Amino acid sequence: MKIEQLYTGCLAQGAYYIESNGEVAIIDPLRETQQYIDKAEANKAKIKYIFETHFHADFVSGHVDLAKKTGATIVYGPGATTKYDIHSASDNEEFKIGKLTIKVLHTPGHTLESSTYLLIDENGKDHAIFSGDTLFLGDVGRPDLAIKSDLTSEDLAAMLFDSLRNKIMPLADDVIVYPAHGAGSACGKNLSKETVGVLGEQKQTNYALRVDMTKAEFVKEVLDGIAPPPQYFAKNAMMNKSGYANFEDILKKGDTPLNPEDFEALANHESALVLDVRPQAEYIKAHIPNSIFIGLNGQFAPWVGALITDIKQPLILIAPEGKEAEAVTRLSRVGYDNTLGYLEGGIESWKAAGKDIENLESISAEEFANRVKKGNINILDVRKDGEFNAMHLENAQHFALDFINENMSQVDKNKTYHIHCAGGYRSVIAASILKARGFDKLVDVAGGFGAIKKTDLPTTDFVCPSTL
């Protein structure tokens, strides 16, 4: 028996490779599927099944492409309907992988078709569960993504309560838990940084598995504090249900070098958005006017999905040399398939062509503190709600990056703003968006709140409810 977790940090997502006696099952594969094929071929094995724990909202799965390439059967839980061929399993249905058995446990709540896959070893012992978004380490999946006219988030939360107690908690404490996500995913509230655990520990430490918890208490706690889902979630879920373009075609189109003239023509005449994916220090130093910064060195794909509202938006890239294909790949993982190419030679070729560049003023936390002490300045804190509520600077305006597109009316082009996040990545994203919309009085605070806390500027951890 071979079980391998293939974890992708940018998405905080775990795919799984299971092999026994020359047969393979893949659970929740990523968009780029060649890695699974290569692994199976290296082991002289054949991919037999592709199990999907549910219709993912936070990434586009590779199930459709992988099935076309290998002939493997795509398996979803009960009630799943798609525009391509699948096997919609029944509750408790079993599938054979060599000497192993994979049993379907229908666990609705995160979505209606959500299922946990129980792996039974060759001796008939329950070995592990692949719990998808039903059970995370430290948390459970959010129940507000599959709401229909006849269902509320409270209804789904109640289903999740029953699923956990009727299907998951009766399993033995030594059963290994392989979840679909870890810390950083927007599919839950308080996911652990660990990506593999055991069920007994979760029964003791996961708030959602408390034995003395009533259904009403569970519904209240699981829904409390959930931020609205990113706008791309519904679009990714639809792609996973309907199918999508071939990944290799997307990569070939996007991984195309463009000279400065062709690059500029696409921006001017094809309304392509210039997406700068270099480290923020390089963007600060020099960038193309009206370009948007979202660096590969951070939570790149989720921020693209949260901030670029048109999933079909034509994109052209400014990327570090050798990282162009990676950028196209990571964009495709969240359904942004319309990358038209990248600037060959990067920003230096743009400069050499005599074209305009801009920079962004960035100051140290110490200089920022000096400016605050000298007089009133406008401070934009672009961290998430929870971060801001936990601790923030006195007189800072909360302007969460997550909702920047909805809240542009809260800022004034005539004012100078000093912008900070937690560490310096999100503040530059926010500044780039504001610059592209005509704000030219912006100052980035390098190192963010982490550096600011080391100064003597006063902070507060109290937020009046009327200001939330």
188: pLDDT strictly greater than 90: no
Over residues 330-335, mean pLDDT = 97
Tokens of 415: 């004012």
Single out the residue in 334, 352, 370 at which a domain terminates.
352
If asked whether residues 379 and 438 sit together in one domain, one would say yes
| 407 and 341 together in one domain | no
User: Do 186 and 64 fall within a single domain?
Assistant: yes
> Residue 369 falls within a domain, yes or no?
yes
Distance CA 388, CA 271 (A): 35
With a pLDDT cut of 70, the percent of the chain lying above it is: 98
Residue 76 amino acid letter: Y
What integer is the mean pLDDT of 108-130? Answer: 97
In this predicted structure, the answer to whether residue 434 has a pLDDT above a threshold of 90 is yes
More confident residue, 460 or 313: 313
pTM for the whole thing? 0.93
Q: How many helices (H) and strands (E) does the chain have?
A: 16, 24
Give 95's strand partners.
102
Residues 6 and 107 in one domain: yes
397 close to 410: Cβ distance less than 8 angstroms: yes
Q: For residue 240, is it within any domain?
A: no
- Whether 202 and 284 map to the same domain: the answer is no
In a domain, 66, yes or no: yes
Q: CA–CA separation, 249 vs 99, rounded Å?
A: 37
* Exposure of 427 in the CB half-sphere (CA atoms within 13 A): 27
Last residue of some domain: 175, 206, 234? 234
Same domain, 130 and 254: no
In a domain, 411, yes or no: yes
pLDDT single digits (tens) 55-85: 999 999 999 999 999 999 999 999 999 999 9
Residues 110 and 63 in one domain: yes
Band of residue 339 on the pLDDT scale cut at 50, 70, 90: very high
Dist CA 87 CA 68 (whole Å)? 15
Q: Is residue 220 situated within a structural domain? A: yes
At 249 the three-state DSSP class reads: helix
User: pLDDT of 367-411, one tens digit each?
Assistant: 999 999 998 899 999 999 989 999 999 999 999 999 999 999 999
Percent with pLDDT over 90 in the chain = 92
Q: In this predicted model, what pLDDT tens digit does every residue of 138-168 receive, in sequence order?
A: 999 999 987 776 889 999 999 999 999 999 9
Buried b (16+ CB within 10 A) or exposed e, 232-245: bbebbbebbbeebe
User: Could you report the per-residue pLDDT of 81-100, keeping only the tens digit for each?
Assistant: 999 999 999 999 999 999 99
- Phi and psi at residue 3, to the nearest 5°: -125, 125
Contacts of 359-362 with CB under 8 Å at 24 or more apart are 359/284, 359/285, 359/286, 359/287, 360/283, 360/284, 360/287, 360/428, 360/431, 360/432, 360/435, 360/442, 360/444, 361/442, 361/443, 361/444, 362/284, 362/443, 362/444, 362/445, 362/446
Question: What CATH number should be reported for the domain holding residue 56?
Answer: 3.60.15.10
Does residue 115 lie in a domain region?
Answer: yes
User: Domain with 281 in it: what CATH number?
Assistant: 3.40.250.10
Q: Looking at the predicted structure, is the pLDDT value of residue 228 above 70?
A: yes
Q: At what angle do helices 232-242 and 300-307 cross, to 10 degrees?
A: 100
Instruction: Tell whether 209 and 325 lie within a shared domain.
Output: no
Question: Has residue 467 got a pLDDT over 80?
Answer: no
Q: Is residue 458 part of a domain?
A: yes
Is the confidence at residue 428, as pLDDT, over 50? yes
What rounded mean pLDDT belongs to the chain?
A: 95
User: Structural domain of residue 217, as residue ranges?
Assistant: 2-234
* C-beta atoms surrounding 40 within 10 Å: 21
Which one-letter amino acid corresponds to residue 378? N
Contact assessment for residue 459 and residue 387, using Cβ atoms and an 8 Å cutoff: no
Average pLDDT over residues 429-440: 97
In the prediction, which pLDDT does 464 show? 44
The whole-angstrom separation of Cα 277 and Cα 360 is 16
Q: Do residues 199 and 258 both lie within one domain?
A: no
Question: Does residue 320 sit in the same domain as residue 385?
Answer: no
Predicted local distance difference test score (pLDDT) of residue 149: 66
Does residue 206 sit within a domain? yes
Task: Tell whether 287 and 159 lie within a shared domain.
Answer: no
Q: Specify whether 404 is located in the same domain as 459.
A: yes
What torsion, rounded to 10 degrees, do the Cα atoms 332, 335, 337, 343 define? -60
Number of domains in the chain: 3
- Reading across the β-sheet that carries 87-88, which strands appear in turn? 2-8, 13-20, 23-27, 46-51, 73-76, 87-88
Kindly report, residue by residue over 128-141, the tens digit of the pLDDT. 999 999 999 999 99
Using the 3D structure, point to which of 181, 212, 234 is the last residue of a domain.
Answer: 234
Cβ atoms within 10 A of the Cβ of 220, count? 13
Torsion of CA 216, 221, 227, 231, to 10 degrees: -50
Q: How confident is the model at residue 462 (pLDDT cuts 50, 70, 90)?
A: low
